Amino acid sequence: MALHDHAGAGRSSTVRHTAILLLLSGLTFITAATPPALAQSAPPVRAASVNPHAAHITEASQRFGIPEAWIVAVMRAESAGDVRAVSSAGATGLMQVMPDTWAELRTRYGLGRDPYEPRSNILAGTAYLREMWGRYGDVAAMLAAYNAGPARYDEHRSTGRPLSAETRAYVALLAPQLGVKSPSLHLATTPQRQTDWRDAPLFVVRSGDSHPADLPANGGASADRRSPVPAQGDDTPGTRAAPIFLARDDTGGRQ
């Protein structure tokens, strides 16, 4: 009988010992599992800190009055963030600035010697965006001139010669990101009719007469209106200016 009681006591002691071990191992597991749970609740890292050029973008935005979102969008489209990017035409760096343009902007704004250096390249590209905005006062026109060059865009406006497919795709991609919801590109693909005798006026106008009925061709009047660059907090930048490309419906009216 005594032996039986001793064995039962031994089993009870073993059970208690096992329970204590299980309890301790459970506490160890909970303790080990705590750090990941706390890590998951940590605040996320700001997206801006991920961009290594954030400080340069802010500086360029403040210096030239161009919204940071515009700079980021153009940089992404131009180089996808590749500091050493070089186009087939010779444009360089994050903002893909052409060599002649770089040389002029470098002198004008006191930039560094290296066109690939991120800060100088971002400042140059933003300065060029600012100049194109000041020249046209229109988001889509600014983008087209930035991509194709102002001389080529002015030729498009004055003669109707279509812009390249690359430039049209560039504007179509970026304009919505800069606040122009749906820039129309149809007019750029429509050739102009050759001028002939039927275009001559019915009446000869003397040199001293006024021309009250004369209208500027190819949207010249709208190009003379300048709009301020939208503020950083503006949710719909660029919507105040008309798009550069006008589509025609079946009745010949403007859409």
Predicted TM-score of the model (pTM): 0.58
Instruction: Give the separation between CA 254 and CA 231, rounded to whole angstroms.
Output: 30
| pLDDT averages per 10-residue partition of the chain, 255 residues | 47 50 47 41 48 95 98 97 96 97 96 97 98 95 96 95 95 94 52 45 43 33 44 45 37 33
State the pLDDT at residue 51: 85
CA 56 to chain centre: 15
State the pLDDT at residue 50: 77
State the pLDDT at residue 169: 95
State the pLDDT at residue 232: 52
Residues 6+ apart with CB under 8 A from 194: none
Instruction: Give the separation between CA 247 and CA 255, rounded to whole angstroms.
Output: 6
Partner residues linked to 86 by β-bridges? 92
CATH architecture of the domain covering 53-180: Orthogonal Bundle (1.10)
Side chain identity at residue 81, one-letter code: G
State the pLDDT at residue 85: 97
Q: Is 79 helix (H, G, I), strand (E, B) or coil?
A: helix
State the pLDDT at residue 49: 52
The helix or strand, by DSSP H or E, that contains position 39, with its residue range, turns out to be helix 2-40
* Residues carrying an active site annotation: 78
State the pLDDT at residue 93: 98
Instruction: Give the separation between CA 109 and CA 103, rounded to whole angstroms.
Output: 10
Neighbours of 163 (CB within 10 A): 23
- Nearest in space to 152 (alpha carbons), one of 218, 86, 141: 141
Domain boundaries, the chain: 53-180
State the pLDDT at residue 230: 59
Instruction: Give the separation between CA 104 and CA 100, rounded to whole angstroms.
Output: 6
